[in-house]
Structure 1
């Protein structure tokens, strides 16, 4: 028996040693450290993501896991230190539940919310059961059941039941409220999970074959569609100093499925999602068209039953509307880029991040502009040169002397010509008199029609200081040699083709405090009587 025990112990020790030996993986099979996102260059509708990983000495491959499904495989670029030789690269796309360790942060939050909701429902059911039991006890007549309460204890028992029922009902009400709140939270999380991941979320896995002589850094760069940023501006006018401060803001959002935690973010106005080459002219050929054969009309029933035309096979998909974009401080030859100095965290499917990207002041010329024929009102307009760099058109919040006056749109292409309006000037009163028209015959034989229209406007300055007034009006412009137009103005306008638009009249003059200015225009239009006049305004 001792010998048997000794052999048995030696065998057990050998098995344990063998198991220990088998459980220790060799050096090259050790678990890979996960990669991290180091840099992101964000474009309108896409982003270039750079991931970084440490590879161990002697490693023969590395796998970048849990990458977004929408990455462009053709855009993959792998680079490393001199100690690493890089071979081929393979890409695999699979369901996220199959790929190990690719659970979304939203999945964990959904599970936590489900557990909390299950606890709340269990508490509600238990309290409802306790309340039912108390109702059963209260409905039992004294002395009708074994162990019934003697008559002398009925009062105490009744009070105890009342207190227990009151406490149970109150706790039941609170439990139901908590359950309703948790149900709403879970519903919102599931909706967000479905929006970000979709019904069948998939992830990409990139495996790089390599040979690492020593521990080194491996970098993977890829293009992914979806994330974007949109610009907005804030314009603040100091009317006393005649200066405008323009602030650049960027709204960043992404739903790629991978969180950008502490990344170096660069915003670019480049557009890699656009076509890279323009179209070429098509041949222009002329020939005599053959006679069109008569086509018999289709029967009414056949026309009614005819199905709708199917889209052409292989037709290009309509591109999803891309949010507008903007800004940067590094003006390259073909784009403008802004490198955010601090590291940014933008969770996938999470809240949008607003970044302040600098500001600048510009001297402005203030003009009080009125278009009486359109509206009896005057607006304060700041005219200043367009700032340097790429400033695509985007919404702008407008502030005048510290007060918010509304929102507009900043378009640098129109800024130098029309300026930026900062709201209505209530201290400038604009009036437009009713137009006076007369129509008669002209010429020796009365073969021509002559129509005359007279317009008169008045503008009163109720400010304590003078203003630079600009009044705009439209004059008729002939598009046919048979129609002649003669216009007379009082006073003479400063421009008859304001903003390079023929027929747009501009009166520009200073208007003293408390003064009133009048402007008049008389237009005479002559054309043959048999001609039908067409007017477009």
Structure 2
């Protein structure tokens, strides 16, 4: 039974004076949310258990409690209160690091002040030498001056060192303070869950709950070895969360499910048809100028939710659309701080044989690119960004999508040893057909590709051909040499030349298109 109620004063005092003994052991991260599981050891004879310092944004309806067979669980009570009311019970590692740096800065300031007092003492000797106090005997002037100079140099040098150390510590402290302020603005309140139970022999109590905000995104690394013609695909994940509680050494599972999405699609509504009633004319009344409408103020809850959404890590979750969820269990224990910092995890790798091709689209870009065609790897590989490496060198990034992998392959950057040239397109307009009854446009294109590699390559040249969209528009195309396909990837009008090109060889590709349309019509062209 789940009760959303306030705790009694005695219970509240107990919560405030004891540190939370529970710890996070398992987390399942979805795109935009997470299920967190905490455990708490129960002493023999325990009658209640308190899970303190939980995120304020947890979903109370998602709370689930389980325990050992010897523990009987009663009702749950949930309460939210300000974090500062719990004292050190909710102190985070971030607070401890801040206090440690502040203590070091205070110690340096105290040492600097002590050196200042010492410098003042040395100054009194200088004033004494100037006749303002007891004069130094002539026989001791040399030794005194040397000692003063040495002491002053050491004091000033140490003071300079202290200043540099203090500046370094303040640089380390500044981002921690900013993070604490950010977290404090979002999570000034924390949740406390009290469980009524009976544990005569003690045992373990487990609490799980849903919290919004955490997310993960797939990421990949593709490394091409052109000598062996193999591609090594490494599957990665970027995980981040800013819930207000750190995940230290937890068992992490990544899921493509979306528990926050709708559980059922919309149902059809009756489709009613009728006759629109005639519009009755109404006299226009004299109207005074309308006052400017003021925007309705946002509620505190809406403002807090908006601020939290803006500060949460942003991930593109559209890549997880699918019929079924897939889970990735990380074998090692993972720590994810509650600072929004992205943690990269490796989810395994796959070695695939590939067919290398050089592809160019001269009409758009007179550059040749190296393409690796590989079969889609087994299993579920959600689409995501990919970092590309060729023979150990980083060449850029792209997008990994198994739906397009078999059709377009993976591009591994420019091939500088393949020269591509495009001649100036020729275009002539005139008339044709019977006694010049139709307009005619003739477009000619010529491309030249040269292989400067020491070995032969497999060349792909892509070009666009006109596709008629009207029955009165006719297109005739002639190619040299004949292309392998005029519907590359099932796209009408996409022409593909594919052929081997030996080392040092040059190949010319030409296309001529004749477009005719009625003389009294205007031709519309669009890419």
TM-score by length of 2: 0.85
Structure 1 window deviating more from structure 2 (225-234 vs 365-374): it is 225-234
- Report the equivalent of 1:335: 325
Q: Structure 1's 104 and 397: CA in aligned 2 closer, same or farther, altered over 3 A? A: same
- Report the equivalent of 1:353: 343
- Report the equivalent of 2:94: 106
Equivalent pair of 1:230/1:326 in contact (CA under 8 Å): no
| Superposed CA offset, 1:89-144 (max 9, x none) | 11111111212511111112211211211121222233334334544643566334
Structure 1 window deviating more from structure 2 (221-230 vs 150-159): it is 150-159
Alpha-carbon deviation of 1:151? 4.6
Alpha-carbon deviation of 1:208? 1.0
Structure 2 CA distance for aligned equivalents of residues 292 and 131 of structure 1: 96
Structure 1 CA distance for aligned equivalents of residues 349 and 234 of structure 2: 4
2:360 to 364, 370, 393: 370
Determine whether 1:183 maps to 2:170: yes
Structure 1 CA distance for aligned equivalents of residues 278 and 447 of structure 2: 60
1:430 to 420, 429, 433: 420
Determine whether 1:511 maps to 2:498: no
Equivalent pair of 1:227/1:256 in contact (CA under 8 Å): yes
Structure 2 CA distance for aligned equivalents of residues 74 and 213 of structure 1: 29
Structure 2 CA distance for aligned equivalents of residues 177 and 457 of structure 1: 64
- Report the equivalent of 1:406: 396
Determine whether 1:259 maps to 2:246: yes
Equivalent pair of 1:143/1:150 in contact (CA under 8 Å): no
Structure 2 CA distance for aligned equivalents of residues 163 and 139 of structure 1: 17
Structure 2 CA distance for aligned equivalents of residues 292 and 493 of structure 1: 67
| Superposed CA offset, 1:301-321 (max 9, x none) | 979x94676699999988667
Structure 1 CA distance for aligned equivalents of residues 50 and 37 of structure 2: 15
Determine whether 1:127 maps to 2:132: no
- Report the equivalent of 1:78: 65
2:151 to 146, 164, 168: 164
| Superposed CA offset, 1:257-292 (max 9, x none) | 222222222111212233333344566666659769
Residues 262-281 of structure 1: matches in 2 within 5 Å? 262-281=249-268
Structure 2 CA distance for aligned equivalents of residues 142 and 360 of structure 1: 83
- Report the equivalent of 1:526: 516
Q: Give the unaligned 5+ runs of structure 2.
A: 1-16
Determine whether 1:56 maps to 2:43: yes
- Report the equivalent of 2:202: 215
Alpha-carbon deviation of 1:475? 1.0
Alpha-carbon deviation of 1:293? 7.9
Q: Structure 1's 449 and 326: CA in aligned 2 closer, same or farther, altered over 3 A? A: closer
Structure 2 CA distance for aligned equivalents of residues 442 and 308 of structure 1: 66
1:463 to 453, 457, 474: 453
Structure 1 CA distance for aligned equivalents of residues 477 and 295 of structure 2: 55
Q: Structure 1's 443 and 281: CA in aligned 2 closer, same or farther, altered over 3 A? A: farther
Alpha-carbon deviation of 1:530? 4.0
Structure 1 CA distance for aligned equivalents of residues 69 and 428 of structure 2: 89
- Report the equivalent of 1:23: none
2:315 to 298, 323, 330: 323
Structure 1 window deviating more from structure 2 (386-395 vs 62-71): it is 386-395
Equivalent pair of 2:108/2:166 in contact (CA under 8 Å): yes
SS at match of 2:366: coil
- Report the equivalent of 1:39: 26
- Report the equivalent of 1:239: 226
SS at match of 2:378: coil
Structure 2 CA distance for aligned equivalents of residues 32 and 440 of structure 1: 89
1:90 to 72, 77, 86: 77
Equivalent pair of 1:269/1:327 in contact (CA under 8 Å): no
Equivalent pair of 1:326/1:392 in contact (CA under 8 Å): no
1:389 to 374, 379, 382: 379
RMSD over equivalenced CA pairs, Å: 3.4
| Superposed CA offset, 1:332-371 (max 9, x none) | 9812112122222333328543222111122322221110
- Report the equivalent of 1:454: 444
Aligned residues: 501
Structure 1 CA distance for aligned equivalents of residues 34 and 146 of structure 2: 70
Bigger radius of gyration: 1
SS at match of 1:274: coil
Structure 1 window deviating more from structure 2 (192-201 vs 426-435): it is 192-201
Alpha-carbon deviation of 1:500? 1.8
Equivalent pair of 1:33/1:54 in contact (CA under 8 Å): no
SS at match of 1:480: coil
